[in-house]
Amino acid sequence: PSVTRSLLISLQSCQCLAWKPRPVGVWPCPAETQHVVAGYSDGTVRVFSVSRTEMELKMHPHAAALTAVTYSTDGEVILSGGKDGIVAVSSSRTGMTIHVLADHKGSPITVLQCTRKQYHDFGVEGGELWLATSSDRRVSVWASDWLQDKCELLDWLSFPAPAGPEGLDNLPPSLAAFSPWEHGVLVYVGFGMQKEALFYSLRKKQVLRKISLPAFATSLSLSPAAPFMAIGFSDRLLRLQPCPAGEPQDYAGHDDTVHLCRFAPSSRRLLTASLSAVFVWELTGA
């Protein structure tokens, strides 16, 4: 009989997690290269080896609790965002902090995402695009070349919203993601003037189209292999929305707000989570 070991991470103060991307052209991913990065409430970022089930690296680039963390597309760099809006860029090998960006200072970082940039797509140097989204409905988009120590602001988006009596902590989250099917396009959902998903072109510097939603979204994930997205809502609803248009499919079953949606790399499975339930959906025809 075979025995499967599980990586046990102390989750008492863990706020966010991300898997290290597999090396390009390598499949299956060798066990020794599989790592998880975790962000904690004490401002630390910790890297764990899956095969050795132990912590390999611990760094302390933040003075506030972590709210978002991700790897660069090549896995060499870790981007982390804090509750105070500070974004830190650190080496995944040495733990040394390479950059500290304060552009979102004062508002918690809700999303960090990296994507490979097509060469010369936007007339800026760098092989990677990445975005940071904060709770105050701001999205910054950057072009970076970490080996050359270059990080250039490509675009800055601010989405309007009506004045509300509640604080930011009680508002729907601001969420953004690069479109896997349309180069140079990102999707944004969040508290705003209307309940909708916005498709913004980084080339044209404008919103290309909008998709109406039944409520403000609480989670978002874009399928890597097919033009549709998963959206979670506070009323326990999960929606699969074809893009750029089409008839959505709604699914119930969660016991609370659907606060997490994540497609598998194959797009054939979707993981969703609420307060006390985690679902794995099998997507036929994906």
How does residue 1 score in pLDDT terms, banded at 50, 70 and 90? very low
How does residue 8 score in pLDDT terms, banded at 50, 70 and 90? low
Task: State both tokens at 210.
Answer: 């909008």
pTM of the model: 0.89
Query: 114 with 124: CB under 8 angstroms?
Result: no
How does residue 212 score in pLDDT terms, banded at 50, 70 and 90? very high
Mean pLDDT of the chain: 88
Rounded mean pLDDT, 262-272: 89
Q: Per-residue pLDDT for 5 more than 50?
A: no
Tens of pLDDT, residues 48-84: 988 787 899 999 999 999 999 999 999 999 999 999 9
Most confidently predicted of 15-24, 74-83, 242-251, 252-261: 74-83
What is the residue extent of each domain of the chain?
A: 7-21+34-116
Task: State both tokens at 197.
Answer: 């998903």
Give the Å distances, CA to CA, from 66 to 14, 18, 69, 85: 8, 13, 8, 10
Give the Å distances, CA to CA, from 85 to 50, 98, 102, 132, 143: 30, 17, 7, 10, 19
Q: Per-residue pLDDT for 278 more than 50?
A: yes
Rounded mean pLDDT, 105-125: 85
How does residue 205 score in pLDDT terms, banded at 50, 70 and 90? very high
Instruction: Return the pLDDT at 148.
Output: 84
Q: Rounded to the nearest 5 degrees, what angle is found at the Cα of 157, between the Cα atoms of 234 and 123?
A: 130
Instruction: Return the pLDDT at 98.
Output: 92
Pairing label, strands 87-91, 249-251? unpaired
Rounded mean pLDDT, 210-233: 95
